[in-house]
Structure 1
Amino acid sequence: MAHQLHLEKEKYRQWVKAGLGLGYLKEGLVPFCNDIAVQQHNDILQNIRSTKSLPSTVTCGSCRVETLKPDHKPLGNAKNKVCPLGQVKCSCCCKGKIACPNNICGAIYDYIVQHHASTPPAPDWKNSDALNWSTDPWSISKCFINAPGYKDKTSAVHTDCTGLLHVVTNNIYFHNHIGGIATGPNNLFSKVRQYRNEIFHSSSMELEESEANTYLDDMIAVLQDNKELVHQPAAQQAVLKLQDLKKKDFIITTVDFDEILGQIKEEMKKVLKSIEDAPTNEEYEELKKQSEEHETQIFKLNEEMTKIKTVTSSGQSQAEYEQTKIGCRTQLIEHYRSDVLKVSAI
């Protein structure tokens, strides 16, 4: 049976509960996002094949977004080209691009730009691989995640709730499956996405109970969206878990701590990858700060788990407990040195 954690600081306990809520939110969103991504992919291919009179089985696995020539043509003259779809630095305005040999990937490129909800449209091409567009639904969905670190995420289940919320808010196709407004800075989906940033970028790792409950209530509201999510079994099972978190007698276990540790480690991996690609020294320093915040969070969570395991294990002395703490700290310092400091400032 999992050890029960009786945390001394109530604000810290509320932060842990909010972190757990994000995990439940992801559980509730995964089937919905996966289903809509598959529907969208089928619609894209059917439309392209029908419009271009292509065989029903045609696919492509040879195009790369870096070299792909879109189907749409630029406006203006040779010296002053403008993308008619409004995308900044669009491939349509670049020389040397190569048309899809199967006449399908250029049309998919156009579709992604036209269905990106931001103004101007800004797909994140670095998160995806055009090699997979015609065969893998999630490779298209990832173009709507406007944050780095998702290129290796092969499905909705492997994507964190931030990525899933990006897909819902940035992909116009998904808006047809949401009852409320999914655009604008104050929409519920964007608000909850911001909560995740506040939770996992918190150096104090503390929340007032009222603040934590607001976070949890809004997560519940997302999963109870009245168009489709409210009818999704996984979403409503997640709602029950979120409601349990709000109970005064909710007990946090080491299993719960493992869940939050996993989320923070995943976030740290994305930050470390982003550091490698940071285009400016300013962005490098900001990402480095975030990495240090995650290191502190990981150490504190490990320390709390060590405490409870020490209390419940038989025969471990205080000296052994202190040695375990030192080992944990040393491991984190070495991790930081090898994975963060090895990246030179720009």
Structure 2
Amino acid sequence: MAASVPTVSEPLSNSKFFNWIKAALAVFYTKEEIEPVVIAEVKDFQQDCLHVISSANFLPAGSTCSNCCTENLIVCPTNRICNVNRGKCYYHINVATQYRPSGCPNKICHNLKSEIQKAHRYHGPSYKNTDATKWCSNAWEIAKCYLPPDGYKDVSNAGETDFNGIISVIINHKGFEAKIKDDLSKKNNIFDKGRDVGKAVRHSPNLEVEDTDLTHYFAILNNILTDPGFVAINKSPNNAIQKLAKLQSDDLIIGKDVVRKVLDDVGKTIQEQIRNEMDEYKQKTEERKLELINIINLKVKDIEEKGNVSLAQLNGAVKSSIDAFDAKVKESIQEIDRQTRKGKETLESVTNDGVQNVNKEKENAIKEIQNAAEKSRGNDAAVKSSIDAFEAKVTESIQEIDSQTRKGKETIESVTNDGVQNLNKEKENAIKEIQKAAEKSRGNDANAKISEDTYQKKKEGKKNIYECTTFVYNITMALLHV
């Protein structure tokens, strides 16, 4: 079930949002611990592959190649990488990026590709992510073959790769299976669960974590850090286990730059989701999350301590940020209510004017038909002409009230839209989705009431016209029989 968007009447929970920040910090410290291990393993794999390739092909020690692009090494077409459309492939787009059946002219790159493929647990390297011209010079370009297939093309090192990516290298690269005690080939191994924690925190729909979930997240991350195999290969531990313990007990002192980096990383993910999200309501929800992150980042920056903050200070910044955010939301909703009331009054005024005009036309039409009937006693053609004229008047009157009603609706839409567009730009990103929720919850009731009032007036007008028509018809028939 999708989480609801918190509003002024349903505010963010200080404690749950603070739990989310603690979970995000726990993921950060865990990534900080495992990242050097992954870097070392990938570098060893790169050097081992180049040594084997050089020996097998009688190449000088230290031979490398930087001339083969990834497209040169991938046969065309390859599923999920390139597809020929009407005889043209936009991946292998020109002569320089054509597949080379003969392989690397230096006998290195196509052999390195084979080693990368063999070392992938599922035999499906993410070649779209990587730049093969850098395989020999930047080991992380090889690591990118073991990342998820989308979203990592522009990262150039482990520091730019998120927790999900680092964990994916451990799971997908066979080199780790002999070094981690837990069975990486099985679903729900400790690293698989750790990846789920990272995703849950990074893509939290409302930036909140329950107490029970937070305890569960800490347990999973501790299981990763205490795996006997991981401990054995972790040559430079940075005491992440102690940091997680202090974080859990609210005793940790944190660098302000760490807090801001964690928030900035999540902010980048949210910005990407905003760019890719097609649903307008979901897009506004993401914009709200981004605004809240920006507010707390400013609050953390304003803390007077030089470079560190305690969890108590961080919690204070969280509460202050939520209060500031809720105040902006409340102010904006009040402005929307004001504009809606103004629009309603305008619609009622325009519609009432229309009804009055129709009533006046109705009275004039009755008088005209009565006068015509008096003058044309015994003259069937004249009476029929009078009735036709009256019916034309009735039709014209109905069209007039329809026109006035449409005009009223357009006016309220125009007035409300103008009011919303004039809201302070500084608040826009924070409240757009709240505006939509407010429009749905408040505007629908108001519009329904306005539409009902308009309908009743229009119905009453038509009823009056019908009654007048019947009355005049009866008089006319009576005159015909005089």
TM-score above 0.5: yes
Q: Give the equivalent residue in structure 1 for 2:172.
A: 170
Contact 2:81 2:128 in 1 (8 A): no
Q: Give 2:113's aligned amino acid.
A: Y
1:295 to 276, 287, 297: 287
Q: Give the equivalent residue in structure 1 for 2:114.
A: 110
CA shift, 1:147, in A, is 3.9
Corresponding residue SS for 1:32: helix
Q: Give the equivalent residue in structure 1 for 2:162.
A: 160
Corresponding residue SS for 1:117: coil
Q: Give 2:247's aligned amino acid.
A: L
CA deviation vs aligned residue, 1:197-231 (integer Å, no higher than 9, x gap): 11122222221212111111211211222114356
| Distance in 1, Cα, partners of 2:26 & 2:288 | 21
Q: Give the equivalent residue in structure 1 for 2:234.
A: 232
Q: Give 1:113's aligned amino acid.
A: Q
What CA RMSD, in Å, does the superposition of the two structures yield over aligned residues? 3.7
CA shift, 1:296, in A, is 2.7
| Distance in 2, Cα, partners of 1:214 & 1:292 | 30
CA deviation vs aligned residue, 1:230-279 (integer Å, no higher than 9, x gap): 56265451121111111155678865641331221332465578x4xxxx
| Distance in 1, Cα, partners of 2:301 & 2:72 | 54
CA deviation vs aligned residue, 1:45-92 (integer Å, no higher than 9, x gap): 11111122221121111111112267xxxxxxxxxx9xxxxx95799x
Contact 1:127 1:150 in 2 (8 A): yes
Residue 291 to residue 25, structure 1, CA distance change in 2 (3 Å): farther
| Distance in 2, Cα, partners of 1:88 & 1:211 | 39
Quick one: higher RCO (CA 8 Å, sep 6+), 1 or 2? 1
Matches within 5 A, 1:130-279: 130-229=132-231, 232=234, 234-248=236-250, 257-268=259-270, 271=273, 275=276
Size of the alignment, in residue pairs? Answer: 292
Residue 290 to residue 40, structure 1, CA distance change in 2 (3 Å): farther
| Distance in 2, Cα, partners of 1:160 & 1:24 | 12
Contact 1:63 1:100 in 2 (8 A): yes
Residue 299 to residue 184, structure 1, CA distance change in 2 (3 Å): farther
CA shift, 1:174, in A, is 2.2
CA shift, 1:187, in A, is 1.1
Residue 270 to residue 113, structure 1, CA distance change in 2 (3 Å): farther
Higher mean displacement: 8-17 or 21-30: 8-17
Q: Which has the larger Rg?
A: 2
Q: Give 1:170's aligned amino acid.
A: N
Q: Give 1:175's aligned amino acid.
A: E
TM-score, length of structure 1 as denominator length: 0.72
CA deviation vs aligned residue, 1:9-60 (integer Å, no higher than 9, x gap): 2222111110111111111111111111111111111111112222112111
| Distance in 2, Cα, partners of 1:110 & 1:289 | 46
CA shift, 1:8, in A, is 6.3
Corresponding residue SS for 1:67: helix
CA deviation vs aligned residue, 1:71-119 (integer Å, no higher than 9, x gap): xxxxxxxxxx9xxxxx95799xx9962121111110111111111112x
Q: Give the equivalent residue in structure 1 for 2:46.
A: 41
Q: Give the equivalent residue in structure 2 for 1:17.
A: 22
1:100 to 79, 100, 104: 104
Q: Give the equivalent residue in structure 1 for 2:126.
A: 124
Q: Give the equivalent residue in structure 1 for 2:340.
A: none
Contact 1:145 1:163 in 2 (8 A): yes
Q: Give the equivalent residue in structure 1 for 2:8.
A: none
